[in-house]
Each structure stands twice: as C-alpha cells, then as structure tokens.
Chain A
Amino acid sequence: MNFTNFGRYILLLKAAFKRPEKMKIYMKAIFQQMDFIGVGSLGLISIISTFIGAVMTLQIAFQLVSDFIPKTIIGSVNRDSSILELSPTISAIVLAGKIGSAISSEIGTMRVTEQIDALEIMGINAPGYLILPKIIAGITMVPVLVIISMVLSITGGYLGGTLSGAVSPAEYIQGITTDFNPFTISVALVKAFVFGFIITSVPAYEGFYVKGGALEVAQASTRAVVVSCISILACDYIVTQLML
C-alpha cells in the first residue's frame, strides 16, 4: 500500500464513519454481517483451532524430552501460545482469506455493475452503508471467534496429548492452570479487535475502488487477501511489542 492508497483508505474510512441515514437499516445490515462473519466462520475456525492445538501439544512433547522439564510445561506452553499468538493470528489469517475475499468481491462487483453509483445517486452514503456494518461486525465477531478458538485449541491440545499418550490428563490440566496470567487474554483480544478491523476494512477499500470488470474484481480480491495478511502480521508484531 503506497502513500496515495493509504490516504484514500483513510478518506474512505472517514466517509464510512459518518452518521448513518437510518439506524434501523444499518442495524439490520450489522446483524446480517455478524451472522456472515461470526456464525459463518465458526465451523472453519473450530476445526483449525482444534487440530492446531492437538499438533502443538505433540510437537512440544517431542521437543521437550528431558528429565529436568516437568510434563506439565506442555500444557502451559500450549495455553500461552494458543492465547497469545496462534488463536488470534492464525484465525485472522484464515478469516482474511474467507471473509476478505468475499467482502472485496461483493463490493467490487457492486462497483463494476454501477450499484454503488446507484446508491450515491439516491443520496445514500455508499461507504457508510456498505462498509460500516462490515467493520462493526468484524471488530465484534472476530474477538468472539478468537475466544472460541482459544478454548478449542487448548481442548485440542488436551485431546491430542492424552490420546497419543504424550501427556497425562492430570499433567496437562495442571499445566494449563499453573501460573496463568489473565493479561494474556487482554493482549489476544486487542489483537483480535485490530485484526477484525483490518480483515473488513482493507478488502472493502480494495473492492470499493475497483475499475474494470470481472478480471479486475478477481485481482482486487487477491490483493485484498495479500494486503490484509501482511497488515495482520505487521500489527501482530506492533501490538505484541507494545503490550508485552
């Protein structure tokens, strides 16, 4: 994203956050987007989180082969990794692919078929109507998905560890309950909030300024996912640096 694009992105967000014409219509759109982003992504996030938790437990057990290291450490490493990094970041990258491409192609198609022009001619603030509900849904539902992801990742770790015999149930539970720092949850939720904003606003920007036809809409979708993923990783580093 060069400076011109960044400037246009900020101006688009400014337009999107103007006072809605009719709150009732916006609320309906927000709930529809919450359903799409939250409920619609629940299955995918659940499967990914469970398996990542399980695999991580096996890998930690494989790498920490020493009589000096208690096996309870497997649970605590899995817990902290899941909460601080894997659940927010992996979920966000997966959601950037699933939701980001959908948002970008939806808005892009509306642009090339003059539906956005039609909104503007009617006197409707098109960025507000199209983008604001998506951003609000993103910043509320992505944290919810990340919380679910954390729970399932730790549960997946338990299942993977105990079924394989890498760690006993008692050791794993002792590990995840020992020295728990609740601040890690706050860090994860801040990350999820930021990622939710990126996942919705960046693809919306890419779609909103599409010019051309089907090929350009597809290119905008690809660009939206790539830019979103890079932005997520950059913000992940910044938030971690600032909060830990």
Chain B
Amino acid sequence: MIEIKDIHKSFGDNEVLKGISGKFKPGITNLIIGGSGSGKTTLLKCMIGLHHPEQGNVTYDDRDFTQLNTEERIEIRKEIGMLFQGSALFDSMTVEENIMFPLNMFTDQSRSEKLDRVNFCLERVNLEGKNKLFPAELSGGMKKRVGIARAIAMNPKYLFCDEPNSGLDPKTSIVIDELIKEITEEYNTTTVVVTHDMNSVMGIGDYIMFLHEGKKFWEGSNKEIAKTDIQELNDFVFASRFMKAAKDKF
C-alpha cells in the first residue's frame, strides 16, 4: 500500500499541491483525476521522487520514501514500474533491449532467462514477435504497450501510469486500461493511474481521487462518482454531452 500524507508542493509562488492525503491499496486500480493544472502529475512525481515535496510524507508499505537517502530510495525504486505519458522508451534500443534493460542492470539472470522474461512480457501485452523493432517503428498504442511490458519486467510491487491513454484512439485506450487492470489484479500490484480520460474513470476506477486546484476534493469509486452532487466534480466528469446523457440514464 502507498500512503500519502499532507503533501505540499510549490513552484516559486505557485502552490500546486495544498496538503493532499490518501491511501492507494494493492490489487485495485487507483486513479488520480482532475482538470489540467489541478496538480495530478505533480502529485505523481512527488510520489515517485522526481519532485521533492516541501511538506508531507509518502510511505511505501511503512517505508517513508521522503525520509530515505538516495541509496535507500533506489531500493524502493527497483520495486516500481512506471508507464510514462510519452512512453519514454530508449529510442536507441530495440523493443527487446528496452524491456531487458532493467533485467540487465539489476539481475544476474542468463541471457536465455532474460529473453524468456522479455517474451513473456511481450506476450502479456499482445506484442509477440516485435522484439527487434525500434520505438520509431511502433504506433502510439504499441509504444504504450511496450512501456507497460518494460514496467512489469521486474515484477513491480508498485505500478504508476501517467496519462496512459493520451493520444490514443478509444479502442486502443480500452485495451490499455484493461491491460493495466488485469496486471493489477493478477499480481496484486499497487497501481496508481493519473488520467483525465472519462472512459478510464468509469471503466477501471476502483478508487478515484479527484483533485481540484491542488486539493483533494473527492474520493470514492466509479460506482459512486455518478451519484455525487459536488459541483466541481460533476463539472469535470460530466463535461461532455455523451457523459451527461450517460449520467441521466444511471
């Protein structure tokens, strides 16, 4: 489980996060949602240590990440898998080399063992046989799936996804969402997904934290979200005509 307590983060005079707390449990898909500039990506970066919060704690299974030194943080980071918004694949490496990279760095497995793991991960994301392609030869959806394959290569305890559906067509978005949910449930991973995709919210949001102007405004599940009467949340979730019509049918 990941627990955040009273996270504050500012950039100059701009206070982006104003004391956010919450718990992200394993085995369920935890979503952080909110409009542009609400602080969701900043919160995610504070959780994984790419930003340093001025105040507050991030705890990974009772290990306070914010109080650890660099070496101790590295040990936790080896348990983290991350899917970046732009996939962040190493463009000088093939798909196989990308997925094998963390295995090369942190394991003493033989090449055949590593190759087996790569093939298993590729199979898991439905990209069998794409080992020798370079990122430039992949579509946006394929890059995301390779990103997921790389993220799960080390069997992570914690999986973070930053806008996994951005720039993807609705059908591919659903494939990615389902893949994240399956992996979470199958490996009992603590998964945190930052998104503003309403299909993801309604489809895989077991736990949803809604941020608005740097504060936690609401938390609950996708089943509860349609029943809430909080104006800011309704304005965000049901902004589109389609979602409005869907809500009326609930």
Contacts and interface: CB of A to CB of B under 8 A. Distances in A.
B22 interface: no
Contacts of A117: 50, 84, 88
A243 interface: no
B245 interface: no
A216 B84 CA distance: 21
B84 A118 contact: yes
A69 B48 CA distance: 73
Contacts of B77: 120-123
B90 interface: yes
Interface in A104-133: 110, 113-115, 117-118, 120-125
A25 interface: yes
B88 A118 contact: yes
B240 to A, nearest CB: 29
A121 B106 contact: no
A125 B106 CA distance: 12
Contacts of A114: 84-86, 88
B75 interface: yes
Contacts of B91: 113, 115
Contacts of B78: 122-123
26 contacts: A21-B105, A22-B104, A22-B105, A22-B106, A113-B88, A113-B91, A114-B85, A114-B86, A114-B88, A115-B91, A118-B88, A118-B90, A120-B49, A120-B50, A121-B48, A121-B50, A121-B82, A122-B77, A122-B80, A122-B101, A122-B154, A123-B74, A123-B75, A123-B78, A123-B80, A125-B74
Given A120-B49, A120-B50, 5 more contacts: A115-B90, A117-B50, A117-B84, A121-B160, A124-B105
